[in-house]
Structure 1
């Protein structure tokens, strides 16, 4: 043996790998590019959550303002009104008048969103309707005894 040349592959020198080292780099680049595109598409399809901006009260009327339309589930339970919003916001409470009598309202955080409850000393009934006004979502709750 005069050297380690691989003339007819009879010697102990391992063969050189003739595969290109460029292929793993191309595959890694494509994987990173695909991940970035997926993150951008996910951001576009998952919009920002609705946020409760303010609550206004009037005589027998409570108006809740949101930055965007929100999903709502409402029930009248034993004479009290409960509305569950798929939104974010701060806990609040207050009082409004209905035919000269007090009605207490309270917004609190729950695991499914915001819960608005309206309670009075007598049974309540309510009707609610939402509409878009000046780029914001307005939900009006009208109370009745």
Structure 2
């Protein structure tokens, strides 16, 4: 009898784990990055949690999402701004570095089934 109850418990545990994996929500992913005048447009499959902070003299946005590392350059009022996306244990970190201090604002909205996050930069 104890073996039977033990095997039922193990079966129930395994069944619960399989159901949990099936109902687990899809992780948030950064699908693509578009360079816009004075900022970037990021496209996600779901709404990510995000924060903005100043790190090491640069403006950084932290997203709880998975992403491929990327980097590039954009123009803000005729001046170059370098950006770099890196994965960290906290999530995806997007750094903006320019010759002058930067401030940024973001706006998000659902567009065609994807979360569109627009980051606008200006001198701070």
State the TM-score, normalized to the length of structure 1. Answer: 0.75
Q: Greater CA radius of gyration, 1 or 2?
A: 1
Equivalent position to 1:117, from 95, 99, 118:
95
Say yes or no: does 1:144 pair with 2:114. no
Richer in strand (by share) = 2
- In the alignment, is the contact (CA less than 8 A) between 1:79 and 1:122 conserved in 2? no
Match among 55, 61, 82 for residue 60 of structure 2: 82
Paired residues of 1:53 and 1:65 also in contact (CA < 8 A): yes
- Structural RMSD (CA): 2.0
Distance in 2 separating the partners of 1:74 and 1:34: 44
Runs ≥4 in structure 1, deviation > 3 angstroms? Answer: 76-79
Gaps of 5+ in 2: none
**Cα offset for 1:128?**
0.9
TM-score by length of 2: 0.86
From 87, 111, 123, give the equivalent of 1:133.
111
Aligned residues: 123
1:35 aligns with 2:33: no
- Matched-pair contact (CA < 8 Å) for 1:79–1:125: no
The match for 2:40 is 62
1:55 to partner: Cα distance: 0.5
Q: List runs of 5+ in structure 1 lacking aligned partners.
A: 1-22
Deviation at 1:77, TM superposition (A): 4.4
Match of 1:49 in 2: 27
